[in-house]
Structure 1
Amino acid sequence: MNIGIRVKLSTMMFLEFFIWGAWFVTMGTYLTVTLKATGTQNAGAYATQSLGAIIAPFVIGLIADKYFSAQRILGVLHLLGAASLYYATTIADFDKFYPNILFYMIIYMPTLALVNSVSFKQMQNPSKEFPLIRVFGTAGWIIAGIVIGLLGWEKSGTLVLTFKMASIASLILGLLSFTLPDTPPVKRGQKTTFGDIIGLDSISLLKNRSYLIFFLASVAICVPLAFYYNFTNPFLNEVGVKAAAGVQAMGQVSELAFMAAMPLFFVRFGVKKMLAIGMLAWVLRYIFFAYGDAGSSYWMLIAGIVMHGICYDFFFVTGQIYTDNLAGERFKSAAQGFITLATYGVGMLIGSYISGPIVDHWKVSDTSHNWQTIWLIPAGIAAVVLILFLALFKDKTSMATKPGLDIQEPSAQTEI
């Protein structure tokens, strides 16, 4: 690949996830402290990610794949996003903030697929070249968190600046996008059905009993996952953790480390053990959060954050590979789209609407919650999912025996 193109693609990935990480991690604290939002409102704001994930395939399937070059749509969406993020800094109440952030997530979520499309178009061997580009996205998310922590915006009550920072980055990426290599629509003139868009062609995979169990477990485990995304930053700030956003970035560092080690784990464990370890990690993470604090048990909070690599890689990345392996060449793309829609769309949406009322119910005062009880609830949900999975999932396939296994960097939510 031409070095100039490589630099542009790496910069594109860095900015794509820097933008998201710049405001998403700390939005809960911003809403709670600055806009005086309730836990239910906070969860509703985070649910816009799921709504965006549900709508995104239609944007890609009906527009990007058929009518316009991917890099141009990417540019337009990020320019609109820059305006939306800046407008967010002028809003003083949640009722006006919510429709704006919903609009933003609807136009942002499609860009996650667009940056991949632009990248893959320039690669001859994506399995080897893509991780070297995608890693800059994880770096962007990490650096955004570190910047927020170093500047102390959480403690100073100036998290509104995170939206301004993200707005500037979105403007830069929007302009940069028009200089990216041309990525013309791949389905110009072809008929696209509703089933094509949401990956219904792959629904036949659910006839496999083990895959059906995995699929249901994937949706169910996203319910406790929503607790982590929606309330970890407010929790850490409330219990007195300094530079919480920067501390949370350790989760992405862990993710990179475990991603690199996954081929070794595949050799040692089969699919069932890998998936089970991932779910067990969710149980342990929430127990650590329940009993950790900013004092003598601070290590428990750090352990819960660092376990992100196991929580995400062992379950979601393993699941993506398991899905790819079962789908076969014909249904690979449809199957990945279907499982993503079910997890980050439906599962996370359910989790968001469940987590908010629970956090509100266990509110002790205007500035404190009974976090021990709150975190034990998703721990219990994850434990139930794990037990049912162990009892019902029978596929003992060793993925290490499958030829051509490529482990790539995860796409978006990973960053989280």
Structure 2
Amino acid sequence: MNIRLRLIIMNFMEFFVWGSWLISLGGYMFNVLHFKGQEVSDIYGTMGVASIFTPALFGIVADRWLNAERVLGLCHIIGALLLFWASKVTDPQMLYYIMLLNSFMFMPTIGLNNTVSFIVLGKSGFNIVKDFPPIRVWGTIGFIAAMWMVDLCGFNLSPMQLYISAGSGLLLGVYAFTMPGCPPVKSAVKRSLASSLGLDALVLFQRNKMVIFFLFAMLLGAALQITNTFGSAFLGDFANTYPDAFGVKHSNILISISQISETLFILAIPFFLRRFGIKQVMLMSIFAWVFRFGLFAIGNPGSGLWLLILSMIIYGMAFDFFNISGALFVEKEADIKIRASAQGLFMLMTNGFGAWVGNKISGRVVDYFTVDGVKDWQSIWFSFAGYALLLGIVFPLVFRYKHVPSDEKVAVSH
């Protein structure tokens, strides 16, 4: 089989596994299992906890002892078995621990998937910078396809979504073992444990500009998963007022507009970076989150459907403009010797600590505005919008960075 096609299948399946449950599980836990907001957010927060520890640890295993494709396969197989178990559980505490173990297995696979792709492309003589993005975009397509499949099969509020994820994860786990070998690279220079864990990037904290940047990366990271956690449950609560509305019956398809928007805004990033600079692009992202949450607050699946659709479109700017431009900023500011570690630190602050803090706080906000089981979604979303607005006001005042167009051109070209 053509090596590009094999990698396309691997990337498609990698995110199909995640998309099968990430958006819809919150609605299942809220509306079927009747979990509290804090219980739901804690379960989603397991991904943040896992992102702090296991990606680096499993990366060390793949770097030193075991082929990367085998580590990838084992993680998916074990994760699939945990998801099969999770589908049978209705106790919030037990489900938390199972999903924590699953997150420990799944979160490292995102990086391992990239590692296997890079090694296989390199061995086959491809240009990684040129040939990987068209392969990786199939991951986003796989995520969207999974959301649509779960929705059209009527599994948004069913444990069947976990069966679909587990089944596809099991298939991917076996498939990974058939990929070309990606053995550990023998190095003449023995890396320290601290270096392998990316701790050498902590030197960046000696500069005030980077301290402020990473602090805001964590604070904005707190907002990244909120609509994934509560979006489906929010739309499901309109079942009594708009029982026949498209957004209620097909919440996953409506939310998938967000992922489609992501793919489009990625293409716009080079233009915006050259025209406005990294600081302004990151500021656009922060205010995009204000509109993302604010439009959720005033929208509904009936007459306000267009407001929800607009919120989904804005998500692409909110998510991509900070993640991509932030990664480019780190790439530009970090010494070449610690670039990989610096990127790991950026991901740790956003998807690790940030996501964990965000889920802890957001669950309490949802419970605070819940009375006798009825959620005041407008107040909930306005609270999140207010949080993002506060970040947007403070960020340009404390983050000192001058836009030099030539610098941004260099960063984008990389």
TM-score (norm 2): 0.92
| Shift of residue 125, structure 1, vs aligned partner | 2.2
CA distance in 2, matches of 1:386, 1:138: 28
Is the partner of 1:396 in helix, strand or coil?
coil
CA distance in 2, matches of 1:48, 1:187: 34
Counting only pairs closer than 5 Å after superposition, residues 351-390 of structure 1 correspond to structure 2 as 351-366=358-373, 368-390=374-396
Aligned residues of 1:68 and 1:184 also touching (Cα < 8 A): yes
CA distance in 1, matches of 2:405, 2:10: 32
Q: 2:207 corresponds to which letter in structure 1?
A: N
- Which residue in 2 is equivalent to 1:81? 79
- Which residue in 2 is equivalent to 1:231? 230
| Shift of residue 191, structure 1, vs aligned partner | 4.5
Q: 1:153 corresponds to which letter in structure 2?
A: F
CA distance in 2, matches of 1:286, 1:403: 32
CA distance in 2, matches of 1:79, 1:218: 32
CA distance in 1, matches of 2:59, 2:174: 24
Aligned residues of 2:276 and 2:403 also touching (Cα < 8 A): no
Superposed structure 1 runs of 4+ greater than 4 Å apart: 187-192
Q: 1:169 corresponds to which letter in structure 2?
A: S
CA distance in 2, matches of 1:262, 1:62: 32
| Distance change >3 Å, CA 152–CA 61, structure 1 → 2 | closer
> Which whole-Å deviations, capped at 9, do the CAs of 1:147-194 have from their partners, x for residues lacking one?
12222223xx4x211011111101110111011011111366864544
- Which residue in 2 is equivalent to 1:68? 66
Within the candidate set 148, 155, 160, 1:153 is matched to 155
| Shift of residue 278, structure 1, vs aligned partner | 0.5
- Which residue in 2 is equivalent to 1:100? 98
Name whichever of 311-320 and 238-247 sits farther off: 238-247
Q: How many residues align?
A: 402
- Which residue in 1 is equivalent to 2:25? 27
CA distance in 2, matches of 1:405, 1:38: 44
Q: 2:388 corresponds to which letter in structure 1?
A: A
Name whichever of 89-98 and 174-183 sits farther off: 89-98
- Taking only the aligned residue pairs, the percentage that are identical comes to 33
CA distance in 2, matches of 1:403, 1:301: 35
CA distance in 2, matches of 1:237, 1:34: 10
> Which whole-Å deviations, capped at 9, do the CAs of 1:254-311 have from their partners, x for residues lacking one?
0111111211112211111101000010011111111111222221111111111100
- Which residue in 2 is equivalent to 1:53? 51
Is the partner of 2:334 in helix, strand or coil?
helix
- Which residue in 2 is equivalent to 1:208? 207
Aligned residues of 2:55 and 2:107 also touching (Cα < 8 A): no
Aligned residues of 1:250 and 1:306 also touching (Cα < 8 A): yes
> Which whole-Å deviations, capped at 9, do the CAs of 1:311-362 have from their partners, x for residues lacking one?
0111111000110011132111010001111111111111111111211111
Counting only pairs closer than 5 Å after superposition, residues 283-298 of structure 1 correspond to structure 2 as 283-298=290-305
- Which residue in 2 is equivalent to 1:244? 251
- Which residue in 2 is equivalent to 1:12? 10
TM-score (norm 1): 0.92
CA distance in 1, matches of 2:224, 2:408: 30
- Which residue in 2 is equivalent to 1:265? 272
| Distance change >3 Å, CA 257–CA 13, structure 1 → 2 | same
- Which residue in 1 is equivalent to 2:167? 168
| Shift of residue 34, structure 1, vs aligned partner | 2.6
| Shift of residue 397, structure 1, vs aligned partner | 2.8
The root-mean-square deviation of aligned C-alpha atoms, in Å, is 1.9
Q: 2:201 corresponds to which letter in structure 1?
A: S
Aligned residues of 1:19 and 1:167 also touching (Cα < 8 A): yes
Within the candidate set 395, 399, 403, 2:401 is matched to 395
Are residue 324 (structure 1) and residue 331 (structure 2) matched? yes
Aligned residues of 1:20 and 1:166 also touching (Cα < 8 A): yes
